[in-house]
Amino acid sequence: MSVTFDPSGDFASIMDGLEAVTLRVPEQPAQSIANAHRGQVGAEEAEASGGYLRQSDTVWQFPASEVTGAPPLGSVIEGAAGDRWTILAINLQVLSSKWEAACRNMAVEERLDDTVSLHRATYTRDANGEAIATWSVLLAAVKARIQPIASEANVAMDGDQASQEWRVVLEQSLDADVAAGTVDMRVIDSADNEYTVVRYEQSERIDVLPALICRKVD
């Protein structure tokens, strides 16, 4: 009698250390994965920050039968603790019917996290024709790191002044409709400091943290 070897349904029964996660694909409902395996996790500095902006890489594996189609690059695997892993590369292991996803977790070191809110202005005119800004909250309680990046000397009537730019590194990307209006946006940090957004950087990349370049309002 011949025996046909078929490992396609064996992943969940032979793999230790499985955990339940959530797959988040942009513009699609979240998908629950009951049997996912996280590989070894390393850590390195994401960008110049004295070591406080870090990123970690790992490989997630999960049965192909537990998701609908191939997860596109940029999708996020979210662990039970809320840790978010962006899929940078993914391959279907045909014999074992599982996906292997190379992922990156880009996070701000917990002990130095700031929390910011993002606001957008809409304008109306008063009786004198002056534009009056009304601010609405776009995002609240976003983890971030705020650090100075440059000073520019400006010559004013009353002497030289320095214009300081600040880099606000966010733990999550902005939706396209939010990012499109950064010229009318401001950032408020946890100490109620206000920053005017100059531009949004790294919005098209999935392998690094997004950043807002801002000027602090005195």
How many angstroms separate the CA atoms of 196 and 165, rounded? 10
Cβ neighbours of residue 8 closer than 8 Å, sequence gap 6 or more = 95, 96, 97
**Residue 90's pLDDT band (cuts 50, 70, 90):** very high
Q: Please say if the pLDDT value at position 88 is more than 50.
A: yes
Amino acid at 13: S
CA distances for 49 relative to 38, 39, 45, 129, 147, angstroms: 27, 27, 8, 45, 8
**Residue 204's pLDDT band (cuts 50, 70, 90):** confident
pLDDT at 109: 46
The share of the chain scoring above pLDDT 90, in percent, equals 43
Give the residue-averaged pLDDT of 171-184: 72
SS3 of 168, please? strand
- The answer to whether 170 and 177 are in contact (CB under 8 A) is no
How many angstroms separate the CA atoms of 155 and 161, rounded? 6
pLDDT at 20: 95
**Residue 93's pLDDT band (cuts 50, 70, 90):** very high
Over the chain, what is the mean pLDDT? 81
Domains assigned to the chain: 11-109 (2.40.10), 113-217 (2.40.10.270)
pLDDT at 14: 63
pLDDT at 113: 62
Give the residue-averaged pLDDT of 121-142: 90
CA distances for 1 relative to 4, 6, 8, angstroms: 10, 16, 21
Give the residue-averaged pLDDT of 163-176: 82
pLDDT at 157: 47
How many angstroms separate the CA atoms of 118 and 195, rounded? 10
How many angstroms separate the CA atoms of 39 and 70, rounded? 20
DSSP 8-state class, residue 208: S
Q: Please say if the pLDDT value at position 68 is more than 90.
A: yes
Structure pTM?
0.63
Q: Please say if the pLDDT value at position 153 is more than 60.
A: no
Interior angle at CA 198, CA 211 and CA 126, nearest 5: 135
SS3 of 171, please? coil
- The answer to whether 99 and 92 are in contact (CB under 8 A) is yes
If one compares 163 and 97, the residue with the highest pLDDT of the two is 97
Q: Which of 8-12, 16-20, 181-185 has the highest mean pLDDT?
A: 16-20
Q: Which of 52-56, 182-186, 213-217 has the highest mean pLDDT?
A: 213-217
φ, ψ dihedrals at 112, nearest 5°: -120, 15
